[in-house]
């Protein structure tokens, strides 16, 4: 067993063990003629040449051994060919993926993200405080009235030159606001999945758990019966209704957190003063309270100069501990039409179609292998 199964030395040793006389004969009889042949075998000897010395008779076993060795040799050649084909396909897939990925990245994506972040998030609403420094409900309303709305819905150029109604829909002069800014909150049910210790039942009336699907509040509250059109902010709205405008305004496209797109929402007016009036009305009617677990601001803008969309998602999470956890995401997306007009767009279209074809091909291969390997039904 110190030799490979298909080696010449292994074959001759096997032949010697099968065909030589018994040990008793070896001790008393003449020296077998085959022993010098075994000693003369070297690893460099060709297997086919050695086998030619045998006539292939059943007694010798040559035909069976030769066919077995030939089968193993063919199997190795087949494996080598498949390995080369798979390597070539994989390298081609990596090349197509790299080309497709690099062509989808615009050089204006980072400047777009930085511009909107500096204008809406990093801008201070009071000395030393910006979006990330919001720690109370009062801070939230000050941020909305003093920083966010004036920058998202501007009314004038420098030197008090007023905007036209069309120009008021531009964030930072060049990013056109698609649809409206949506303000939304999610709430939790009191005394669900949390328990007040018995020694404090007379002092503490309610507990407010962390947000989960089980603890999500869907009941109306506050000014839900008010005749004002803004009273919708106090009534829960499900995901199917809120996501109807997702294809255009992107409300549901950037919700990658655990709160989902449903909740208590209000779409702010595109006029700055009207939007501020809405925020004051929510503040005066206690829209945010102890049951609030997160406040989310969503809107989408498009810059026709760079052909980029930007989905902006600002989230303020009100923790069960009383603290705030704020997060801002600006996700730029390149516009693309199915009617390419330049060689670059044609190359991008071909690369993406090829990439999709590769993905489908590899999925089919994996599914076929799995079914052949693990789903064999015995008969």
Report the 10 Å Cβ neighbour count for 56.
14
Q: Which two tokens mark 206? A: 């309610």
Backbone angles phi, psi at 244, to 5 degrees: -60, -35
Distance (Å, whole) CA 59 – CA 62: 8
Apex 302 CA angle, 299 and 306, nearest 5: 145
Round the CA-based radius of gyration of the chain to a whole number and report it: 38
DSSP bridge partners of 188: 216
**330-364 as b/e, with b when 16 or more CB fall inside 10 Å?**
bbbbeeeeeeeeeeeeeebbebbebbeebeeeeee
> What is residue 260's predicted lDDT score, i.e. its pLDDT?
80
Q: Whose CA is closest to 349, among 335, 337, 333? A: 337
Which residues, in sequence order, are CB contacts of 169 under 8 Å at separation 6+?
176, 177, 270
SS3 state at 315:
strand
For every one of its 379 residues, what pLDDT tens digit does the chain have, with 9 covering 90 and above?
Answer: 344 444 454 444 444 445 444 444 444 444 444 444 444 444 444 444 444 444 545 545 556 666 777 788 888 888 888 888 888 888 888 888 888 777 767 788 888 889 899 888 988 888 889 999 999 999 999 999 999 999 898 888 877 788 888 888 888 888 999 889 999 999 999 999 888 888 888 888 899 999 998 999 999 999 888 888 899 999 999 888 887 754 444 556 545 567 888 899 999 998 899 999 999 999 999 999 999 999 999 999 999 888 888 999 999 999 999 999 999 999 888 776 666 667 777 777 888 888 888 889 888 888 887 777 655 555 5
Domain ranges, ordered by start, for the chain: 108-334
Q: Which two tokens mark 90? A: 């994989």
Distance (Å, whole) CA 154 – CA 273: 10
Q: Whose CA is closest to 20, among 37, 33, 8? A: 33
Transcribe 17-46 into DSSP letters: HHHSPPHHHHHHSPPPSHHHHHHH--TTS-
> What is residue 251's predicted lDDT score, i.e. its pLDDT?
52
Residue 181 and residue 276 in contact, taking contact as beta carbons nearer than 8 Å: no
First to last CA, the chain: 38
311 vs 109, 181, 352, CA distance in Å? 12, 11, 23
Distance (Å, whole) CA 186 – CA 288: 10
SS3 state at 218:
coil
| Residue 130 burial class via C-beta count within 10 angstroms: exposed 0-12, middle 13-18, buried 19 and up | middle
Q: Which two tokens mark 349? A: 């279209």
CA-based torsion, 207, 289, 123, 168: positive or negative:
positive
Residue 51 and residue 66 in contact, taking contact as beta carbons nearer than 8 Å: yes
Report the 10 Å Cβ neighbour count for 66.
17
Distance (Å, whole) CA 11 – CA 340: 66
Residue 260 and residue 229 in contact, taking contact as beta carbons nearer than 8 Å: no
Q: Which two tokens mark 207? A: 């507990």
SS3 state at 122:
coil
Residue 149 and residue 276 in contact, taking contact as beta carbons nearer than 8 Å: yes
């Amino acid at each position: 067993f110190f030799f490979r199964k298909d080696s010449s030395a292994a074959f001759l040793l096997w032949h010697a063990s099968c065909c030589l006389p018994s040990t008793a004969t070896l001790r008393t009889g003449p020296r077998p003629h085959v022993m010098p042949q075994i000693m003369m075998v070297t690893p460099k000897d060709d297997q086919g040449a050695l086998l030619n010395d045998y006539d292939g008779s059943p007694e010798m076993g040559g035909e069976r051994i030769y066919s077995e060795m030939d089968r193993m040799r063919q199997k190795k050649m087949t494996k080598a060919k498949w390995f080369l084909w798979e390597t070539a396909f994989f390298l081609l897939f990596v090349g197509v993926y790299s080309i497709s990925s690099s062509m989808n990245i615009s050089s204006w994506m980072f400047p777009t993200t930085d511009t909107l972040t500096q204008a809406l998030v990093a801008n201070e609403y009071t000395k030393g405080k910006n979006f990330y420094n919001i720690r109370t409900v009062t801070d939230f309303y000050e941020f909305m009235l003093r920083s966010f709305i004036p920058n998202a819905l501007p009314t004038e150029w420098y030197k008090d030159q007023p905007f036209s109604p069309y120009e008021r829909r531009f964030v930072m002069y060049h990013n056109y606001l698609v649809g409206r800014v949506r303000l939304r909150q999610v709430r939790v049910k009191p005394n669900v999945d949390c328990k007040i210790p018995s020694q404090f039942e007379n002092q503490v009336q309610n507990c407010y758990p962390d947000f989960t699907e089980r603890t999500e509040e869907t009941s109306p509250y506050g000014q839900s019966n008010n005749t004002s059109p803004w009273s919708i902010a106090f009534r829960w709205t499900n995901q199917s209704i809120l996501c109807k405008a997702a294809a255009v305004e992107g409300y549901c496209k950037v919700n990658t957190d655990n709160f989902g797109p449903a909740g208590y929402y209000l779409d702010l007016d595109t006029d700055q003063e009207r939007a501020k009036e809405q925020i004051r009305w929510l503040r005066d009617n206690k829209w945010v309270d102890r049951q609030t677990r997160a406040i989310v601001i969503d809107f989408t803008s498009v810059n026709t100069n760079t052909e980029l969309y930007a989905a902006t998602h600002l989230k303020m999470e009100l923790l069960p501990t009383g603290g705030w956890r704020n997060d801002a995401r600006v996700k730029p997306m390149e516009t693309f039409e199915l009617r390419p007009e330049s060689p670059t767009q044609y190359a991008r279209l071909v690369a993406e179609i090829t990439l999709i074809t590769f993905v489908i091909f590899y999925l089919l291969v994996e599914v076929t292998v799995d079914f052949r390997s693990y789903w064999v039904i015995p008969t």
